[in-house]
Amino acid sequence: MIEKYQFGEYCIVYNGQIYNTKELKDELLKNGFTFNGHCDTEILLKSYIHYGEDVVNHLNGIFAFVIWDSRKKQVFLARDHFGVKPLFYTMLQDTLLFSSEIKAIFAYPGVEKILDEQGISELFGIGPSHTPGTTVFKNIFELKPAHFAIFNEYGLQIKPYWKLISKPHTQNLEDTCKEVTFLLKDAITRQLVSDVPLCTFLSGGLDSSIITKLAADYCEKENLPPLDTYSIDYVDNDKNFVKSDFQPNSDKYYIDLMNKNLRTNHHPIVIDTPELASYLEDAMIARDMPGMADIDSSLLLFCKHVKNEMTVSLTGECADEIFGGYPWFFREDSLKSNTFPWSIALNERQKLLNPEIGKKVHLKEYIDYRYNQSLSEVDILSTDTPETAEKRKISYLTLNWFMQTLLDRSDRMAMYSGFELRVPFCDYRLAQYVWNIPWEMKALNGREKGLLRYICRDFLPAEIVDRKKSPYPKTHNPSYLKKVKEMLSQIMQNKNAPIHNLLNTQYIKEILESDGNAFTRPWFGQLMTGPQLMAYLCQVNMWLERYQPKIEI
Report which of 330, 299, 536 is spatially closest to residue 406, judged by C-alpha positions: 299
Q: Which residues contact 336 (CB under 8 A, 6 or more apart)?
A: none
CATH level 2 (architecture), domain 10-160: 4-Layer Sandwich (3.60)
Residue 414 has a pLDDT of 98
Q: Are 199 and 229 in contact (CB under 8 A)?
A: yes
CA distances from 306 to 199, 238, 268, 286, 379 (A): 9, 22, 10, 18, 41
The Cα–Cα gap between 411 and 526 comes to 20
Residue 471 has a pLDDT of 67
Output Rg (C-alpha) for the chain, integer angstroms.
23
Q: In 376-413, which positions are buried (b, 16+ CB within 10 angstroms) versus exposed (e)?
A: eebeeeeebeeebbbbbebbbbbbbbbbbbbbbbbbbb
The Cα–Cα gap between 250 and 241 comes to 7
Residue 332 CB: number of other CB atoms within 10 A? 7
Coil, helix or strand for 517?
A: coil
Handedness of CA 432, 433, 434, 440 (dihedral sign): positive
Q: Give the start-to-end residue ranges of the domains of the chain.
A: 10-160, 173-327+400-466, 478-539
Residue 4 has a pLDDT of 56
CA distances from 473 to 135, 164, 237, 271, 436 (A): 28, 31, 10, 11, 31
Q: Are 513 and 519 in contact (CB under 8 A)?
A: no
Residue 492 CB: number of other CB atoms within 10 A? 19
Please, what is the end-to-end C-alpha distance for the chain in angstroms?
A: 58
The Cα–Cα gap between 430 and 422 comes to 15
Residue 360 has a pLDDT of 96
Coil, helix or strand for 98?
A: strand
Residue 478 has a pLDDT of 81
Q: Which residues pair with 391 in a beta bridge?
A: none
The Cα–Cα gap between 255 and 511 comes to 36
Residues of the chain with pLDDT below 70 are 1-7, 238-250, 471-474, 476, 515-521, 526-529
CA distances from 213 to 183, 201, 260 (A): 15, 11, 12
Report which of 237, 104, 87 is spatially closest to residue 151, judged by C-alpha positions: 87
CATH level 2 (architecture), domain 173-327+400-466: 3-Layer(aba) Sandwich (3.40)
